[in-house]
């Protein structure tokens, strides 16, 4: 039960699940809904909202499938996923970009300098 701007909404849902007895995985899921408890205007608004939501989902799915087809036709946009490294390369376990590692080095040096500064300040305050 609930409400929308057109009135009160009462919807009954029924889920039917078919499970694999051994693994417990869901093999099939059917969901039905009954909106007969809604008033006329509330039911119409509910139906309109459901159609609008389904339409946006279909548009998103269609654009994704068109993009996937374009990737398949064009040879794929992500060439790095198809790249397999040289098994004899000793640096194959190292990741990262050279610029990222340089920035990480700069952060580590700055932290060490900050710690040295703090220790010097503490020692001069105690002396």
Report the alpha-carbon distance of residue 26 to residue 22 in Å, rounded. 11
| pTM of the full structure | 0.42
DSSP string spanning 92-118? TT--S-HHHHHHHHHHHHHHHHHHHHH
Report the alpha-carbon distance of residue 105 to residue 111 in Å, rounded. 10
- Could you tell me which residues come within 8 angstroms of residue 74 by beta carbon, excluding any fewer than 6 positions away? none
Tell me what pLDDT residue 116 has: 96
Tell me what pLDDT residue 110 has: 94
Per-residue pLDDT of the chain (127 residues; tens, 9 = 90+): 777 777 777 888 899 999 999 998 999 999 888 877 777 787 788 788 888 999 999 999 999 998 888 878 876 555 555 666 777 877 777 665 555 667 788 889 999 999 999 999 999 998 7
- H-only helix segments in 6-97: 40-73, 79-82
- Chain position carrying tokens 């909106």: 35
């Amino acid at each position: 039960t609930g409400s929308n701007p057109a009135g009160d909404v009462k919807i009954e849902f029924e889920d039917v699940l078919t499970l694999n007895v051994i693994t417990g995985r869901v093999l099939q899921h059917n969901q039905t809904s009954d909106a007969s408890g809604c008033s006329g205007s509330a039911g119409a608004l509910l139906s309109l909202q459901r159609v609008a939501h389904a339409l946006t989902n279909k548009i998103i799915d269609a654009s994704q499938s068109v993009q996937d087809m374009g990737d398949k036709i064009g040879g794929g946009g992500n060439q790095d996923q198809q790249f397999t490294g040289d098994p004899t390369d000793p640096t194959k376990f190292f990741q990262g970009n050279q610029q990222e590692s340089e920035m990480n080095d700069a952060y580590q040096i700055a932290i060490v300098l900050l710690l040295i500064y703090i220790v010097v300040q503490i020692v001069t305050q105690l002396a």
